[in-house]
Structure formats: C-alpha cells, structure tokens
Structure 1
Amino acid sequence: MKFSRIAAAVTTAALAPAVLIASPAFAAGPDAPATGTQPAPTAPDQAVPDPTAPDQAEEDRKTILAIIAHPMASEFMKEAGRKAIADGPKAMRKFIEVDQHNIRMDDYRIAILRLLPDAGPGLKEGVNKVLTHGNTIEKLRHFYDVTQHELRDDDNKVEISRLIGTGGTGVKEAGKKALKGTPADRTEFLKTGRHLAQAQDDLVELARIDEGWDGPILTAAISKLMNGSPTPAELRHFLEVTQYELRDQDNRVAIAKIIDGAGPELLKAGRAALAGTPADRTEFLKTGQHEARAKDQAAKDKEKPAPGKGGDTKDNNTGTGTKTTGTGNTTVTAQGNNGAPLATTGAGDHTTLIAGGAGTALIAGAGLLLAARMRRAGAEG
C-alpha cells in the first residue's frame, strides 16, 4: 500500500530547491517529529513467518506497539500502526515489512526539511540535495545524524569570519578564539558570545561619541545609559537608532540659536533646514550656514560706497569747491560728497594757484573800473 502522505513527501523532494526552501508549512506538519530529534528507529525485518500462527500474530502486535510507543514516533506512524493491529495478522506483517520503512523515510524527510528555517547557505544546499537524491533511508539517516552538523559548522565558520572582519576589538578577539575551538564553541559564540563581545565594543564606541559631541541632549543620554546597567540589545539599539534621533534634536537646537537675529540669507537657509530632513540639518551646520553668512556679508558690502570714490575737485565738475579767503590765505579745501577732505596731489596744487590767480585778476579789474569812473567825473565837472 502506498500512503498518500508518503507520495506527497516524495513528490515534494523532487521539486526545485527554491520550492523546498519556501515550504515551512510542510516542514512543520503535525506528523513530523520534534525539531532536533531523530525519527524512531526502524524495527528490523524478521524471517517470513506464518501470519496465521497465533504466537506470530502476538509477536507482531507487540513489535508494532513498541514502534508506535517510541518517543520519536510521528503521529502518522502511530496511526498506521494502530490501524494495522486493528486489521489483523496480514496487515500487521505488512506494516512491519513495508509500511514502517516508507513512513520512516517520510519522517526523515520532514525532519530534514525542518532544518531549513535557521540554516546557512551550505546547509540549505545540502538539504535540497539530499531531498532530491536521498532515495534510501540510509542516506537520509546519515545526512540527519552526521552531514547536517558538518555543514552547519562550515556555515558557522563563514559567519564568524564575517563578524571578525566587521566587528570591533572585542568581537575580533572572541571570534578568533571560537574559530580555533570546537563546533560547540562556534555555536556558543554565535548564540551568546558575539553579543557579549559586541556589548564591550559598544561601550567603547559610546565613550568615543560622548567625547567628540558637544550637544547636550545626546551627551546626557549617553551618560544616563552608561551609568545604568544596559543589556547588549539596548546598547545596540542606542547606537543604531537612538543616537541619530538625539543628534538631530541637538542639531535643531543649534540651528535655532544660529538664526536668532541672523541676516536674511542665513535666516532663510536655517528655516529651510529646520523644515527639512536630518541630513539637511547636518549639511546646514557643516557648510550651509557659512555660505549663507557669506551672502549676507556681500550684500552689506555692496551697500557701502567704495573708499575715495565719493567726490572730486571742482575743475572736473564732479565735486564742489569750498574757498576760504582772508588776509594772506588763498587755500581752497576740496570736499568729497561725504564732506571729507580729499588727499592733496599735484593737480590740487595747480588748482590752488589757478584759483588764486583768478582772484587777483578780479581785484585788478575792479580797480581799473574805479579809476575810469573817477576820470569821467572830473571831466564832467
């Protein structure tokens, strides 16, 4: 008799590896033995007896009861055994000689499938291979009892080597020690040792961050965490998640202080950073604030007149002249647009002479006009 469950298992084993890996529901079926436990041993075949003999039937019944009472017997094995007993001597003999072996192969396949959820790449490949080509109970048993442990240890070595390459000092030291140890040492390192070593490295990293960070919010949180009794998982979460949230809070506070009373460009850039992402705020504090300040300063510089460009001398019609006259003083002080004296140059000296000459000519002309008027008055009289 070919049971439907056995046929289903054989059909599943012949499918592509990707299908096998994606079949946790089948692997965890109610008929399979518990994870990590070996299926019940197969009762050895006996010489063909006379099934009609009362003594032989009783012996077969006891044999079947022993098989289904085994702690590793699957529910399907128990159900098939009880049915064989109920069906009589011929059914019991067939169960012992044929059915139990087929069911056992099915149980091994299910137990092997249950290895997949936490298997590494090497073990997964081995599982797919044995389910495809493991057509005897001996091959299935050897894989379950021996090969799976060898493949799992190979995967553990690869994972530990990866952790050594990316971890801190504590992880590197503990990982190298595990590689030199036993398979059990490697399993223990991946289960608990790596987390303890990582916690040591995380404490060192927190101290480094605290020393190099000026923000009060993150600094206070680090101090509180290190003064408590954090678990390795809490340290990891703080470094991977919490520290970045607190850094951004500190950055917000710093930006708010920077834009308080700032120029228009700095104010605009700071507000945009506060409304943006954490990366925007980091970039503003790193470069954006300096660029905005430079724009504000350039605008201020543009509003101021250039030094020495506000006025000129009177002879080129670009400025005004202020003449101070008096006894023995013909000095002219040229003023710029802002009222400041211009620097004395050679051109300025010539201007002074020209201005003085013009004044002398005006005085002489007035004297001649006065003399002419006096002559005319004398002639008339």
Structure 2
Amino acid sequence: MKFSRIAAAVTTAALAPAVLIASPAFAAGPDAPAAGHQPAPTTPDQPAPDQAEEDRKTILAIIAHPMASEFMKEAGRKAIADGPQAMRKFIEVDQHKIRIDDYRIAILRLLPAAGPGLKEGINKVLSSGDDIEKLRHFYDVTQHELRDDDNKVEISRLIGTGGPAVKEAGKKALRGTPADRAEFLKTGRFLAQASDDLVELARIDESWDGPILSEAISKLMNGSPTPAELRHFLEVTQYELRDQDNRVAIAKIIDGGGPELVKAGRAALAGTAADRAEFLKTGQHEARAKDQAAKDKAAKDKPTPGKDGQDQGNGSGTGAAPTGNTATTAQGHNGAPLATTGAGDNTTLIAGGAGTALIAGAGLLLAARMRRAGAEG
C-alpha cells in the first residue's frame, strides 16, 4: 500500500504542470480577461467548404446544359441521390463518357439531311476516335462550314437547270451569307420556281390545241395556286390532261377512216400515253399512206370492160352495150374519183358495175321498142 500511494502521488505531480499549462487562464497569465470577454481575433478561422454541396451544384449545372441528353440528366440525378461518393465519380468519370456518347449521337442525327460533303465529314470524325474536343468542334463549327459548301453546290445546280427567276435568285444567294443560301434552299427557290412555272403554263396554254388541258390551265392560273400546286400540275397533271385530249383527237381521226388508219388508231387507244402521242405525231400519217396505196392499187388492178373480148362489136342482137370504153367512174365536183371511207375500193367497183348495168338496160329497152314499132307497121 505504501508503494501504491507513492506511485499515485508521483503521477499526480507529473501531470499537474501539463494540465496547468493547457488551461487558458494559466496560459494567459493573471492579467487575462475572464472567459467570455476575449476580443475578436484579427483573422477568423474559415470553415472547410462542404464538398458534397459543391458537387451537387456542379452536377445540377451539367444536367441543365442544352447539350445534356436525357441519359446525362438521369445519370446526374441518380448520382445526387446516391450520395457524395457517387457524385464525385459522376463529375470525374461518368459525365465525360456520357458526353462523348451524346456528341456522337448528335452528329449521327445530322446524316439524314446532310449533303455529300457533310456526310463525308461525319464519317471521318466518327471514325477518328473519342476525342471530346474534336467531336465538340465538329458539332459546333465544322458541320456548319460543310453544310454551306453543300448548299453552294446545290444552288449552282439549280441555277443550271432553272428558269430565269430561279437563276436570278440563286446567283443572289451565292453572293450572300450562309444564312442567305440556307434560306434560298428552304423557301426562296420555291417562290422563284413558282414565278417560272406561271410563265411556262402560259406558254403551254398558247401552244396546245386540246380543250381539256387549256381549260384546266385557265382555271389554275385564275385561282391562287401555291408553288407546290403549280409544280405538281407541270410535273404530273398536265400529262394526264394531254393524254385525255389525245384520246379525243384519235377518236375523231379514225371515225370514217380507212382500214389501216382505224387499225392503228385503235391500237394507240389501247396502248400507252406515249403510243397515243406517237400516233398523232407520225402513226396516223403512215396509216393514211397505207390506205391510199391500197386504194391506188385497187384502182389500177380494176378490169376495164371491152378488153377481155366481152361486149365487143356493133351489137349481136343480145342487147350488149355499144362498143368503146363503157366503164363509169364515180366523180366528185372536180372530176376526181371520190375518196373511200374505210371500205377499200369496193365502192368504186360497185359504182362502175352499176353504171354498166344501167347502160345495158337502156339498150334492151331501145331494142324492145324497135321490135314493137316494126310489128305495128
């Protein structure tokens, strides 16, 4: 017991100076102000920033960016909900991977409306790797440069194939800004084309003889057609109406025509629109020529009475017609043979035979009268 107490006393003596030195009152000395009345320190201590709160604000800013995809927003909200470690990982790692994917997807979406130059640029940048700066620069800058180059090419093509109004508006756009060229291709070209289309419709109406197409053109131009309606009429409707007029014209041509003309006309009516146009251009004339050739051949091959030993002499008491060429040819007012109407030359032959029969009948009537007169004498 004696040694234990000594040890406790020694320990207490050893700890006492340390406790006194650590006490504020002892350290300040006897002149120090009482507790609770110390002056404010010259430089107050700054508390350590709340890292979790800063990370939360950073993530909120990231997912509020216009380029942030739904996947980025969803991942950011999840990180906030999962706590400080998840937020730090999102900021340091996840957001960069997601942003690369977002840019690649955004660039891919440019393809459907891209011209040749822009398509080539898209394929090139997407195959160059996952450099976020390259992807960002392409999306923010390069794509617009390539699109304008494609627009210039397209406008030049339209100038080469368009009418006067399209040419003038296209040249003006080429001299302007990229926005001017984009606007021309979006709306300006169609307004200029409508002006050219109205001129073309007037020209067609003046040169076309068919009533169906002409009436439709007048109705369209007297209305308030849109550029799209004018274009559709010129590209589609006018050809349908032309064909209707052609059908009417062919039906009139073959009505009462010769065999070849009727045959060719009916074949055209049963064929395509191109067949009908070709018939009116050349086919009808070729068919008429064939009918005329057949008519001429029939007239040449027609037998002439008196050349085969028939009906010759001064009369044999059989009532034969007088000698000489007794063939009768149907004549028009000018003495020319009458035209046939599709029945070949049978009409001419019938007319000739009928004339010969009438002459022979007159001869028989005269002979009968002479005999009757002799009997009475």
State whether TM-score is above 0.5: yes
Secondary structure at 2:85 match in 1: helix
Q: Does 1 or 2 have the higher relative contact order (CA < 8 Å, sep 6+)?
A: 1
Task: Give per-residue Cα distances to partners, 1:148-203, cap 9 Å, x unaligned.
Answer: 00000000000001101111111111111111110000000000000000001101
* Distance in 2 separating the partners of 1:148 and 1:60: 33
Q: Which residue of 2 aligns with 1:298?
A: 293
Gaps of 5+ in 1: 1-52, 324-332, 341-381
Contact 1:259–1:267 (CA under 8 A) maintained in structure 2? yes
200, 203, 223: which one aligns with 2:198: 203
Q: 1:156, 1:206 → 2: CA distance? A: 29
The total of aligned residue pairs comes to 276
Distance 1:83 1:310, change over 3 A: same
CA distance in 2, matches of 1:111, 1:266: 66
Matched, 1:121 2:119: no
Matching of residues 330-345 of structure 1 within 5 Å = 335-336=324-325, 338=327
CA distance in 1, matches of 2:251, 2:244: 11
Q: How far apart are 1:319 and its partner, in Å?
A: 8.0
Please give the alpha-carbon distance, in whole angstroms, between the structure 1 residues aligned to 2:224 and 2:150: 33
1:199-278 pair list within 5 angstroms: 199-278=194-273
| Residue matched to 1:144 | 139
Mapped partners of 2:113, 2:66: distance in 1:
24
Distance 1:69 1:155 in 2: 33
The superposition leaves residues 242-283 of structure 1 with CA deviations (integer Å, 9 ceiling, x where unpaired) of: 000000000011011111111221111111111111111111
* Residue type at the aligned position of 1:57: A
Moved over 4 A (4+): 305-312, 316-319
2 CA distance for matches of 1:307 and 1:167? Answer: 62
Partner of 1:322: 314
Helix, strand or coil for the counterpart of 1:117?
helix
Q: CA deviation at 1:70?
A: 3.2
Q: 8 Å contact 1:68–1:77 — kept in the other structure?
A: yes
Q: CA deviation at 1:338?
A: 3.3
1:170 is aligned to 165
Distance 1:115 1:317, change over 3 A: closer
Q: What CA deviation, in whole Å up to 9, does each residue of 1:207-243 have, x standing for no partner? A: 1111110000000000111111110000000000000
Equivalent residues of 1:310, 1:337 under 8 A apart = yes
Unaligned runs of 5+ in 2: 1-47, 316-321, 330-377
* Alpha-carbon distance in 1 for matches of 2:164, 2:108: 38
SS of 2:314's equivalent in the other structure is strand
Separation of aligned partners in 2, 1:232 and 1:221: 16
Backbone CA RMSD of aligned residues: 2.3
